[in-house]
Amino acid sequence: MRKVWYGKITFKKIILLENRIGVGYTMKRLSLILLVLTGLNASGSSVEETEQKLSYLHKQLATSTDDARSDSICEAMRQVWISSFENVEVFDYPFSQLNFSTLISKDHHIRLLNWNLPYRDGTYKYFCFLLVWDDTQKNFTWHELLDTMHEPEKPESRFLTTEKWLGALYFEIIPMTRKGKSSTYTLLGWDGKDNLTTRKIVDAITISGDKIRLGANLFEYAGDSRKRVILEYSNEVSASVKYYPKKNCIVMDHLSPKNPMMQGIYADYGPDGTYCLFELKKDKWIFMDEIDISQFADDDSKPYRDPRKVN
Show pLDDT as tens, one digit a residue, over the chain (311 residues).
333 333 444 555 555 545 554 544 445 555 555 555 545 454 557 999 999 999 999 999 999 999 999 999 999 999 999 999 999 999 999 999 999 999 999 999 999 999 999 999 999 999 999 999 999 999 999 999 999 888 999 999 999 999 999 999 999 999 997 777 789 999 999 999 999 999 999 999 999 999 999 999 999 987 889 999 999 999 999 999 999 999 999 999 999 999 999 999 999 999 999 999 999 999 999 999 989 888 887 645 444 445 554 44
Which of 161, 152, 283, 150 minimizes the C-alpha distance to 215? 161
Residue 205 CA neighbour count, 13 Å, CB half: 33
Q: Whole-prediction pTM value?
A: 0.85
Q: How far is the C-alpha of 62 from the C-alpha of 70, rounded, in Å?
A: 9
Handedness of CA 175, 74, 34, 98 (dihedral sign): negative
Q: How far is the C-alpha of 301 from the C-alpha of 282, rounded, in Å?
A: 26
Q: How far is the C-alpha of 270 from the C-alpha of 283, rounded, in Å?
A: 30
SS3 call for 40: helix
First vs last C-alpha separation in the chain: 41
Residue 22 CA neighbour count, 13 Å, CB half: 3
